[in-house]
Amino acid sequence: PAAAGVTGLVHATFIPTDRNATTVGDLVGYTPSDPASPQNTLRVRTRLGAGWVTIPREKWTLSGNTVTLQGGFEPGQTYELAYVAVNPPVAGLGFTAVRDAAAWVKYAPDAAVSAKYTFAFGSSQTGRWLRDFLYEGFNTDERNRQVFDAVIPHLSGAGGVVLDQRWSTPTSLLMESATHFPFSDRKQRDPITGIEEGLLDNPRAADHQPKIFYTYSDTEYWERSVALTHTTPDGSKDIVPPDNVRLYYFAGGPHNIGRFPPVAGNGETPDNPFDWKNGCAMAWHRRRTAIRVCRTALSCAPPMWHSRCCAA
């Protein structure tokens, strides 16, 4: 559903790899109220921490969430697009949809399929989605019953999703918007705001905590601040995970498995072909010898991409 008649400013950053017109994926679903409005802005900066420079309005055009710049974009620089959007989609409904569907499978006698135990798996963005699902307390259904017995946030890092708010950007890939406090399961103090809570250590998530298996590659340490899941926010001390939590690190593994022989891409080094999938399966196999994965995605809860809601 959409919030008809509601308008507001949306914004997102992107880093182009070529000079062509760019579709800003983080703003999918947000229709500009007036693509030519002078309120719409496009800014650029040369590097992280550098000052923003506003690009004159007459030098760029907007069509939907696709922006075209006269002379083309400068690859590798960071741009920020902002415009007034209208009729935004209602955000956050996927949490309730997944909760209710999984509870139906687990508890309803008339469910199309049934399961004694349920678990959820999410990779990358959907792994971050699962972290927020737990943080917001959705592992308890409306009848105060546990939804998932186990949760596997794979390649999630310390991030979450910008979802449970108006003008949400759930597909955001950039560190600034996708990585936010709390980072660890145990209660910590945010040195910036002074807030004290944890991903699991808060009133919403305190009940019905599942067994949690975090699996990480090298990329999550370089780009997703995953060390904050097992250290204090200032990085000065290690944190012992709760008894229901396990962390697995696939040393040398990439976030996206590269081709073999290695092929050079846009980065300074060739793609990493190390395949961590067998190690991932072995880590799970040690905890449960028989896992049956349900490959039916929950069509009622987009966007789920490559995650699955599973029954064992």
* CA angle (226, 231, 237) in 5-degree steps: 150
Of 197, 188, 180, which is closest to residue 238 (Cα–Cα)? 188
With beta carbons less than 8 A apart as the criterion, state whether 310 and 121 touch: yes
Q: Where are the beta strands (DSSP E) in the chain?
A: 7-14, 22-23, 31-32, 41-45, 53-54, 60-63, 66-69, 78-86, 118-123, 150-154, 188-189, 196-197, 211-216, 245-249, 308-311
User: Phi, psi (5° rounding) for residue 68?
Assistant: -120, 130
Helices vs. strands in the chain: H and E counts, helices first? 5, 15
Instruction: Read off the pTM.
Output: 0.82
- pLDDT of res. 227: 92
Which of 48-52, 72-76, 250-254, 264-268 shows the lowest per-residue confidence on average (mean pLDDT)?
264-268
Query: Residue with structure tokens 């009940």?
Result: 207
* CB distance 155 to 215 below 8 Å: yes
Q: What separation, in Å, do the N-terminal and C-terminal C-alpha atoms of the chain show?
A: 33
d(C-alpha 261, C-alpha 271), whole Å: 9
Residue 184, CA atoms < 13 Å, CB-side half-sphere: 21
d(CA 93, CA 108): 21
pLDDT at 264 exceeding the cut of 50:
yes
Least confident of 13-17, 231-235, 253-257: 253-257
pLDDT digits (tens, 9 = 90+) for 21-67: 999 988 988 999 999 999 999 999 998 789 999 999 999 999 999 99
Q: At 199, list the tokens.
A: 């991903």
For residue 82, the surrounding DSSP H or E stretch is: strand 78-86
Beta-sheet pairing, 78-86 with 118-123:
unpaired
Task: Please report the pLDDT score of residue 19 as a whole number.
Answer: 95
Q: What is the pLDDT of residues 180-227, one digit of tens each?
A: 889 999 999 998 899 999 999 999 999 999 999 999 998 898 888 899
Tell me how many degrees the CA angle 116-120-121 measures, rounded to the nearest 5.
140
Contact indicator for 115, 311 with CB cutoff of 8 Å: yes
As a whole number of angstroms, the distance between CA 41 and CA 78 comes to: 14
Environment class of residue 1 by beta-carbon count within 10 Å: exposed (0-12), middle (13-18) or buried (19+)? Answer: exposed
Taking the C-alpha atoms of residue 153 and residue 158, their distance in angstroms, rounded to an integer, is: 10
**In this predicted model, what pLDDT tens digit does every residue of 136-181 receive, in sequence order?**
999 999 999 999 999 999 999 898 887 877 888 877 766 565 678 8
Q: Report the pLDDT value the prediction gives residue 311, as an integer from 0 to 100.
A: 37
